[in-house]
Amino acid sequence: MNNPVLAWFRQDLRLCDHPALAAAASKGAVIPLFILDDETPQKWRWGGASRWWLHYSLTSLAKAVPLLLRRGRTDDVLREVVKSSGATSLHFTRDYAPWSAALEQRIKAICDELNIECHRHGGFLLHEPESIRNLSGEPYKVYTPFSRACFALGEPRAPRPPAEITWAKHVLPSDKIADWKLLPTKPNWATGFAGTWQPGEHGAANLLIRFLDDALAHYAEGRDRPDKTLTSRLSPHLHWGEISPQQVWHATRAAMAAAEGKLDGGGEKFLKEVLWREFAYSLLHHWPDLPQKSFKPEYENFPWVKDDAALHRWQRGQTGYPIVDAGMRELWATGIMHNRVRMIVASFLIKHLQIDWREGQRWFWDTLVDADIANNAASWQWVAGCGADASPYYRIFNPMLQGAKFDPDGTYVKRWVQELQNVPAEYIHAPWEMAEPPKNYPAPMVDHAMARDRAKAAFATIKR
Ligand SMILES: Cc1cc2nc3c(=O)[nH]c(=O)nc-3n(C[C@H](O)[C@H](O)[C@H](O)COP(=O)(O)OP(=O)(O)OC[C@H]3O[C@@H](n4cnc5c(N)ncnc54)[C@H](O)[C@@H]3O)c2cc1C
């Protein structure tokens, strides 16, 4: 019997348009392997919501694929599986986390030592981060010229049809997914997740079709409205590689062509959002400290306030500002939060409470199903004003005005904040102004005008 080929799955939990898997399949019968590595020292391990997603995504993949599951240090597991399977080559998709380059080098060294081929493939991004540089050969620090450079490269490669795959017959022992205990138990905070999500490749494909059919035409004007479902909600699927960005890109292009210009700019706007993901990865690749350090070094001297009680109120959606509390409660209940509301809650934490952006980043990392090392860090730094192409620190969101503009009837707030069900729309974003505010909802934990002036004063200290 011919020796098998190893396909090491990472954040690429799909079968379609999978360059690494297709290359493996072209060489022989494939052993598909996934490794849960909680042992190699690294700064960021999957948070709770990510583990919930991973459990169901692997369960979904395992229905179509004889998945070999192993837990342990990636280096040790790969070495052992290569030896015991007699595999002649290893294929995997490149990962861009700051620790991955070293890991991938170590894996290459192990393959050399064991005398097997080692092949790294693209598939997570549209463009490799090294390929997009300005005329001086430097990586971009500003999104708009970066996105222009992406468009100037021409269309990304087209998605590939599913590969013909023969799965290798082997007797290697596999872990059981249930034994990995990825799901929360006591308390089970994920009860609301299952009704919201369908992890896995089918869930991603269904969501994309629904989005293109129902929402793309309203995306340009409606993407900022948390009271409506007008964004794709593909972020966790893209994060876990259940769909490739090439599939998303070309399906959008096809929808744009079919609509013959009647999408009101929705198609172009959506493709530009997909490029924010590419930009975040370009930043992370070139500045691997992005999740730890402010891109603008002067922000490392910002007088952040350490206030665990205030942080806890923000996390639990008890700030007394309805749009902030709705967002934080949506996050807790479903593992997701609308982008506009992410900006509002992040601004509130950083500017109204003056709590370090890294605290917010950590909470999102644990609670978001789309928690993503690049997008999360780049976005938190964007709101904090310390990032590459950031919103200026002194631009401080007014939660009442943001609420009135993007959730005018309070539909979104009422969906998540039970205490405000009977508040009329005119007071929904400032219930404390009612003659008799609801007794079971907290008063604002900080006065907006005072907080805004305090934040500006703190900002002035680092400008000097
Ligand atoms: C404080 C903060 C933290 C964030 N943390 C994350 C995170 O951990 N993971 C994450 O995927 N996104 C993060 N974002 C970006 C953005 O909020 C989400 O990508 C978006 O809300 C996902 O919803 P969607 O799939 O419906 O987006 P759509 O509007 O449908 O956009 C399509 C895709 O484009 C990408 N995208 C859109 N906006 C951005 C953006 N600003 N930055 C990077 N990629 C983008 C996503 O992959 C998204 O799925 C964060 C934003 C903020 C303000």
Question: Please, is 161 exposed, middle or buried when counting C-beta atoms within 10 Å of its C-beta (0-12, 13-18, 19+)?
Answer: exposed
Q: Give the residue numbers annotated as catalytic, written as ranges.
A: 273, 276, 304, 339, 357, 380
393 lies in some domain: yes
**How do residues 127-174 score in pLDDT, each as one tens digit?**
999 999 999 999 999 999 999 999 999 999 999 988 899 999 988 999
Percent share of the chain, pLDDT over 90: 93
**Confidence band, pLDDT 50/70/90 cuts, at residue 390:** confident
For the Cβ of 274 lying below 6 angstroms from any atom of ligand 1, the answer is: yes
C-alpha separations of 139 from 95, 149, 156, 228 in Å = 19, 11, 19, 36
Q: Which helix (H) or strand (E) holds 448?
A: helix 448-463
Distance CA 299, CA 294 (A): 6
pLDDT of residue 464 exceeding 60, the answer is no
For residue 1, the model assigns a pLDDT of 53
Distance CA 423, CA 400 (A): 15
For residue 403, the model assigns a pLDDT of 98
Question: Please, is 31 exposed, middle or buried when counting C-beta atoms within 10 Å of its C-beta (0-12, 13-18, 19+)?
Answer: buried
For residue 392, the model assigns a pLDDT of 79
Mean pLDDT of 109-129: 97
**Confidence band, pLDDT 50/70/90 cuts, at residue 186:** confident
Are residues 149 and 266 located together in one domain of the fold?
yes
Residue 8 β-bridge partners: 33, 92
**How do residues 364-379 score in pLDDT, each as one tens digit?**
999 999 999 999 999 9
Residue 93 β-bridge partners: 121
**How do residues 8-52 score in pLDDT, each as one tens digit?**
999 999 999 999 999 999 999 999 999 999 998 888 999 999 999
Question: Please, is 61 exposed, middle or buried when counting C-beta atoms within 10 Å of its C-beta (0-12, 13-18, 19+)?
Answer: buried
Distance CA 251, CA 457 (A): 48
For the Cβ of 37 lying below 6 angstroms from any atom of ligand 1, the answer is: no
Are residues 257 and 153 located together in one domain of the fold?
yes
Distance (angstroms) between ligand 1 centre and the Cα of 339 equals 6
Are residues 281 and 302 located together in one domain of the fold?
no
191 lies in some domain: no
311 lies in some domain: yes
Q: Show which of 286, 312, 333 is a domain's final residue.
A: 286
Asked if residues 273 and 233 have their Cβ atoms less than 8 Å apart, the reply is no
Ligand 1 atom closest to the CA of 371, numbered from 1: 8
Q: Show which of 265, 286, 307 is a domain's final residue.
A: 286
- Phi then psi for residue 71, to 5 deg, are -115, 140
pLDDT of residue 261 exceeding 90, the answer is no
Are residues 397 and 426 located together in one domain of the fold?
yes
Asked if residues 444 and 321 have their Cβ atoms less than 8 Å apart, the reply is yes
Distance CA 415, CA 230 (A): 16
Are residues 342 and 445 located together in one domain of the fold?
yes
User: Residue with the nearest Cα to atom 35 of ligand 1?
Assistant: 274
Mean pLDDT of 231-250: 98
Residue 118 β-bridge partners: 90
Residue 322's domain comprises 297-463
**Confidence band, pLDDT 50/70/90 cuts, at residue 264:** confident
Ligand 1 atom closest to the CA of 345, numbered from 1: 1
Q: How many CB atoms sit inside 10 A of residue 179's CB?
A: 9
**Confidence band, pLDDT 50/70/90 cuts, at residue 189:** very high
Are residues 281 and 326 located together in one domain of the fold?
no
89 lies in some domain: yes
Distance CA 441, CA 204 (A): 37
Are residues 276 and 384 located together in one domain of the fold?
no
Sheet of 68-71, strand order: 68-71, 30-36, 5-9, 89-93, 117-121
- Please state the pTM of the whole predicted model: 0.97
One-letter amino acid for residue 356 of the chain: D
Percent share of the chain, pLDDT over 70: 100
Are residues 324 and 430 located together in one domain of the fold?
yes
User: Residue with the nearest Cα to atom 37 of ligand 1?
Assistant: 273
Mean pLDDT of 390-407: 91
- Phi then psi for residue 68, to 5 deg, are -95, 115
The encoded tokens of residue 155 equal 């269309």
Distance CA 381, CA 375 (A): 10
Are residues 400 and 319 located together in one domain of the fold?
yes
For the Cβ of 375 lying below 6 angstroms from any atom of ligand 1, the answer is: yes
Asked if residues 420 and 414 have their Cβ atoms less than 8 Å apart, the reply is yes
For the Cβ of 234 lying below 6 angstroms from any atom of ligand 1, the answer is: yes
Are residues 239 and 374 located together in one domain of the fold?
no
CATH of the domain at 310: 1.10.579.10
Tell me the pLDDT of the chain averaged across its residues.
96
Q: How many domains does the chain have?
A: 3
CATH of the domain at 132: 1.25.40.80
Cα separation of the two ends of the chain: 72
One-letter amino acid for residue 179 of the chain: D
Q: Of 310, 351, 326, which is closest to residue 441 (Cα–Cα)?
A: 326
Residues of 95-123 as b/e, b for ≥16 C-beta within 10 angstroms? bbbbebeebbeebeebbeeeebebbebeb
Are residues 130 and 244 located together in one domain of the fold?
yes
Are residues 213 and 250 located together in one domain of the fold?
yes
**Confidence band, pLDDT 50/70/90 cuts, at residue 65:** very high
pLDDT of residue 193 exceeding 60, the answer is yes
280 phi-psi bin (left φ>0, alpha ψ -120 to 50, beta other): alpha
410 lies in some domain: yes
Distance CA 308, CA 311 (A): 5
User: Residue with the nearest Cα to atom 17 of ligand 1?
Assistant: 339
For the Cβ of 277 lying below 6 angstroms from any atom of ligand 1, the answer is: yes
How large is the greatest C-alpha to C-alpha distance in the chain, in angstroms? 81
Distance CA 319, CA 345 (A): 10
333 lies in some domain: yes
Q: Show which of 220, 255, 286 is a domain's final residue.
A: 286
Query: What is the dihedral sign for C-alpha 369, 370, 373, 378?
Result: negative
